[in-house]
Amino acid sequence: MGYYRAGFEVEGVDIKPQPHYPFKFYQADALEFPLEGYDAYHASPPCQGYSSHTNDDSKWVHYHRGKQTPKLIIPTRQRLLTTGRPFVIENIPDAKTELRAIILLCGSMFGLPINRHRLFETNFPLLAPGHGKCKGRLKKHAAANNLDYDNRIMSVTGKGRHAGCIEIWKRLMGITWPMRQADIVEAIPPAYTEYIGKYLIKHLST
């Protein structure tokens, strides 16, 4: 949605059905999907394989027990490099050693009451807004949005541990179209990709 707001026509690929995807959608393996004909690419490979919450030595070892958690950042970059076009790879802070030339984006940079730190690798120039300590700004943004600041609520998590519901999570993230819980826990605020999309448009027009 962020790239659309920045001015792009958007098409999406996922290996699983995405019934609420708001643009043209292809259910396919992104490592095999034909990439010709696009101006630029964004990839958000699954993060679970990089997460300290799901690694075997973490206390959350049970959370993903029995589920496959593939590490797809490197094969994804290899494929994107073959296109010769600009690309973005997004992932969680725990994946920082796998990513190159990264910037960090935080909801507090965009007036959102949620930190949701994410890293973005790009092969074109990109500057991140200033970050510093985000907690104070998150509190201010939560108050402005009539959302009480409480770390337990101000995060978008999966099952169980935290209070919250899909409508609150959508407000935290700035998501205005329908989404299932399974989708939103995998998503990032569209403000992030709108920010990057504006750099990308400039890069493509130079």
Ligand X SMILES: C[S@@+](CC[C@H](N)C(=O)[O-])C[C@H]1O[C@@H](n2cnc3c(N)ncnc32)[C@H](O)[C@@H]1O
Q: Does 166 interact with ligand X (rule: CB under 6 A)?
A: no
The H helix count followed by the E strand count for the chain is: 6, 6
Among residues 6, 10, 41, 44, the one that binds ligand X under rule CB under 6 A: 44
Q: Position 78: which residue type?
A: Q
Cβ 104 to ligand X, closest distance in Å? Answer: 16
Nearer to ligand X, 15 or 81 (CB): 15
70/47 Cα distance (integer angstroms): 9
Q: Does 164 interact with ligand X (rule: CB under 6 A)?
A: no
Nearer to ligand X, 34 or 132 (CB): 34
Cβ 135 to ligand X, closest distance in Å? Answer: 25
Q: Provide the 8-state DSSP code for 185.
A: T
Cβ neighbours, 10 Å, residue 165: 9
Q: Does 182 interact with ligand X (rule: CB under 6 A)?
A: no
Sequence-ordered alpha helix ranges (H) in the chain: 2-6, 73-83, 135-144, 166-173, 181-184, 190-204
Q: Does 93 interact with ligand X (rule: CB under 6 A)?
A: no
Q: Does 95 interact with ligand X (rule: CB under 6 A)?
A: no
Among residues 19, 29, 59, 67, the one that binds ligand X under rule CB under 6 A: 29
Q: Which long-range contacts (CB under 8 A, 24 or more apart) does 18-21 make?
A: 18/183, 19/180, 20/177, 20/178, 20/179, 20/180, 20/183
Cβ 118 to ligand X, closest distance in Å? Answer: 10
Q: Does 15 interact with ligand X (rule: CB under 6 A)?
A: yes
Residues engaged in binding ligand X (CB under 6 A): 13-16, 29-31, 44, 46-47, 186-188
